[in-house]
Amino acid sequence: MNKTIYDVAREAGVSMATVSRVLNGTAVVKEETKAKVQAAIEKLGYRPNAVARGLASKRTKSIGVILPDVSDLFHAEVLRGIEDIATMYQYHIILTNSDAREDREVDLVGTMWEKQVDGLIFISEKITPKIVKTFESAQLPVVLCATEDPEHRIPSVAIDNKQAGTDATRYFLNLGVDKIVFLGGPTSQPVTMERLAGYEKALADAGHEFNPAYVIHARDSHYQAGYDVSNEFLNSGLKADAVVATSDELVLGFLNAVRDRGGKAPDDVMLLSFENTRLTTIVRPELTTIAQPTYDLGAVSMRLLTKLLNDEAIEEYTVRLPHSILERTSTKR
C-alpha cells in the first residue's frame, strides 16, 4: 500500500500540517523536527503528490466525504443532501468508501489531506480515539454526519438516538404489546447502543421487566446478518409480538425468517424499523418506521461545514434533528 502523509506524520511524531510545512518550505520548522520528518520520509519511501504540494496554501473548493458504504440506501440519501448544498456553495465532492474499517478511515483522512480538500464530512459507525487523533493531526475542518463524538469535541449532525429508541419501544407498549424484541447491529456500534438504552428506558418507565433474551445483536446492520440472527432467535422457541430494529435491512431479515416458518406480519409479529429508506415502501407489508430526516442530515452537515470554512457564526456545534414515527401496515392498532 502506498504510504500517505499521515503515515509520515505518525512515524515522525508530528502533525500532518508540520509534514506539509517541511515539504513545502512554507514556514520555519525547527531543524530537529525537520530531520525527524525527513528521516520518516526516507524510511517509509514516501513520495509527495506534486500537485497537492503546489496547492498547499490555496482553497480547492473541494470537500472530502468518507462514509462506510456508498451502496447503502441510507448513506445514498444522506449524500444527496450533502451534494445539493455543496453545489449551492460551489464546492465539489470527493467521495470515498471506508468499509467501516478504522485502518481505512485513518488512511483516507490522510489521502483527503493530500488532495487538499478544504474540509471533511465524516460518516462512521463509531468515533475512536485514533480517528480523533487523526483529525487533530490533519488540522482540517470536520463535521460528523449521522455520527456523534461521545465527548462532543467535533461538530456533528444527528438525531437523538436514545430518544428515538424510547419512542419506538413506547409505540408498541401503547398498543398493549408485551414481548418486544430489540434487533440491532453489533454492540461496538454506539448508535445501536444508544437506541438500546432508549428501549430499556421505555420498558423501565412502563414498569416492564427487561429481559436480555429479547435483545439480539447481528454481526452488522445488513440483511443477511439480520436474517441469520433472527433465525437463531426464532429457533430458540421464544415468542416475539413485535420487533424494534435499528435498520431497514435488519428488520427485513426478521420478516423473511418469520415468513420461512409460515408466519406473517403484522398478524404474527409487528415490525418497526429505523431509517425510512425506500425499502420501507417497496416491501409488503410496508414498514412502520422511525423516519430520520435523511436528506437534511446531509444538507445540514454540509451547511455547518461551510460555516466553519467561512468563519460564520455557529449557533450549535452538536445539532440534533427531529425524528418521527411513520405508521404503515407492518403494525396494527
One pLDDT digit (tens) per residue for the chain, 333 residues? 567 777 888 888 887 777 777 776 656 678 888 888 888 888 887 766 544 544 444 678 999 999 998 888 899 999 999 999 999 889 999 999 999 899 999 989 988 988 889 999 999 988 989 999 888 888 889 999 998 888 888 999 999 999 999 999 999 999 999 899 999 999 988 899 999 999 999 999 999 999 999 999 999 989 999 999 999 999 999 999 999 999 999 999 999 999 999 999 999 999 999 988 889 999 999 999 999 999 999 999 999 999 999 888 888 889 999 999 999 999 987
Same domain, residue pair 277 and 179: yes
Same domain, residue pair 186 and 273: yes
Domain count, the chain: 3
Same domain, residue pair 128 and 141: yes
Same domain, residue pair 32 and 66: no
Same domain, residue pair 105 and 75: yes
| Beta strand 215-217 pairing with 180-184 | parallel
**Domain membership flag for residue 14:** yes
Q: Which triple of cell numbers denotes residue 306?
A: 461551510
Same domain, residue pair 69 and 177: no
Same domain, residue pair 32 and 121: no
Position of cell 404503515?
328
Give me the pLDDT at residue 24, please. Answer: 66
Give me the pLDDT at residue 116, please. Answer: 85
Position of cell 483527503?
112
The CATH number linked to 93 is 3.40.50.2300
The whole model's pTM is what? Answer: 0.80
Q: Which domain holds residue 168?
A: 161-291
Per-residue b or e along 122-150, where b marks 16 or more CB atoms closer than 10 Å to that residue's CB: bbbbbbeeebeebbebbebbbbbbbbbbe
Are the CB atoms for 49 and 114 separated by under 8 Å?
yes
**Domain membership flag for residue 57:** no
Are the CB atoms for 136 and 109 separated by under 8 Å?
no
Same domain, residue pair 150 and 298: yes
**Domain membership flag for residue 55:** no
The CATH number linked to 42 is 1.10.260.40
Same domain, residue pair 173 and 235: yes
What whole-number distance in Å separates Cα of residue 254 and Cα of residue 277? Answer: 17
Give the three-state DSSP class for 261. coil
Same domain, residue pair 301 and 154: yes
Same domain, residue pair 11 and 69: no
Same domain, residue pair 252 and 298: no
